[in-house]
Amino acid sequence: MIRILKADEHETWRAARNCASVEVTAAVSGIIADVREHGDEALREITAKFDGCEPDTFKVHASMIDEAVREVGDSFMRLMERAAKNIEAYHRNQIRQGFIMTPGDGVILGQRVLPLDRVGVYTPGGTAAYPSCLLMNCIPARLAGVREIILATPPAKDGSVSAPILAAAKIAGVDKIYRLGGAQAIAALAYGTETIPCVDKIVGAGNAFVAEAKRQVFGVVGIDLIAGPSDILVIADDNAAPALVAADMLSQCEHGADSIAVLVTNSAVLAEKVSYEIETQLATLPRECIARESIDRNGRIIVAETLSRAFEIANELAPEHLEIFLREPFNYLGLVKNAGSVFLGSNTPEALGDYYAGPNNTIPTSGTARFSSPLSVDDFVKKSSFTYYTQDALDKAGDDIVRFAEAEGLAAHALSVSKRITRQRGLL
């Protein structure tokens, strides 16, 4: 049963943040060390142990992709192509150019925006296969100009790979696909093996072992984020339909028992009606046991005095998904400071964003929307600055630079400038 709290009681409750157990941390550390030392041999042994599979090769060949396309059928392919078109249209607006400026005579400054060379994308397989996430990860990378996109996804016991994943990879323009899962896949992408090339950055969500592996290899490679439990927060008043609010909350709960669903409302009546609806709808879900555990552990309804207070609470919790289930929702958008992705109005369920609308579904979790952002084209580029001074321009600025360097006690820095400006002044 979901708990109903008063606004001042929510401060005593915080859902569990993403934090790997000691056992997971140690296990992942061992897997990474094994892959670094033994390469493909370690990958084969670990894949046999955890996936029950011993593939003759890790690489997925074109014939397997073609078979996957036939298996999913034309209708689903067209569906994914429509979603991909929406994702591409949205993310194309994020492409940025460098700039060049001339702030004074003899001075040229600028910034270059350069794509990453090679990116690794991790996508779960089996019952947790999400082709939508693959599209969301790969399309921005392609738009950024990444030279090579490499996909790692775990095999089934018979060595096969999820057909929807392979079909989505074809649509997204993935260059190479490897049958690898878990922390071992992250280690292989980070350090490389005899057959797996190392990458510059790893993106994509997975289980606790994958998340911990990404944390441990960060610094060797870049990562997008360390995903915690999925979460949703709905702000609604007494005009909202209780059945729809409950359905949207449960859409996150079926992800996993640690998922988080919160309603913040100024209506005690709505709170009770939504609570009833949640219980009613839970009994109809195929994943009832998972969703019910999520509701029992991390489901909350918070009754606030006003809608303004509701938005204050939402900003404190910094949800991954925020639904503004109010009339004239754009009137309230300016109150949102911390949220990964915002869904406006009663006709915009969070599931629309997961699959189809276009904004990315890789979104900061566990309150990290306070300081981070959804995956974007920016995640697949790096910026490089450049500077040019003529001798006259350096001479004009030289004394300032020397004084700054000397103030910091860096004599060699000062000398590297003073030798140039004294030469220009004819003193050498």
Task: Give the three-state DSSP class for 235.
Answer: strand
Would residue 67 show up in a list of annotated catalytic residues for this protein?
no
- Among 121, 115, 118, smallest CA distance to 186 is for 121
Q: Say which residues have a Cβ less than 8 Å from residue 185's Cβ, sequence separation at least 6.
A: 122, 152, 154, 178, 210
Determine which helix (DSSP H) or strand (DSSP E) holds 232, and give its type and residue range. Answer: strand 231-236
Instruction: Single out the catalytic residue among 10, 321, 323, 350.
Output: 321
Instruction: Single out the catalytic residue among 254, 320, 323, 350.
Output: 320
Residue ranges of E strands in 239-397: 260-265, 299-303, 321-325, 341-344, 381-389
Would residue 320 show up in a list of annotated catalytic residues for this protein?
yes
Q: Give bridge partners of residue 341 from the DSSP assignment.
A: 321
Q: Say which residues have a Cβ less than 8 Å from residue 20's Cβ, sequence separation at least 6.
A: 28, 208, 211, 212, 215
Are 326 and 236 in contact by the 8 Å Cβ rule? The answer is yes
Q: Please tell me the distance from the alpha carbon of residue 227 to that of residue 207, in angstroms, as a whole number.
A: 9
Chain-centre distance of CA 33, in angstroms? 26
Q: Extract long-range pairs of 412-417: CB within 8 Å, 24+ residues apart.
A: none
Chain-centre distance of CA 139, in angstroms? 13
- Reading the block at residue 171, the tokens are 């649509």
- Reading the block at residue 251, the tokens are 């859409």
Ordered alpha helix ranges (H), 93-174: 131-144, 163-172
Catalytically active residues are 320-321
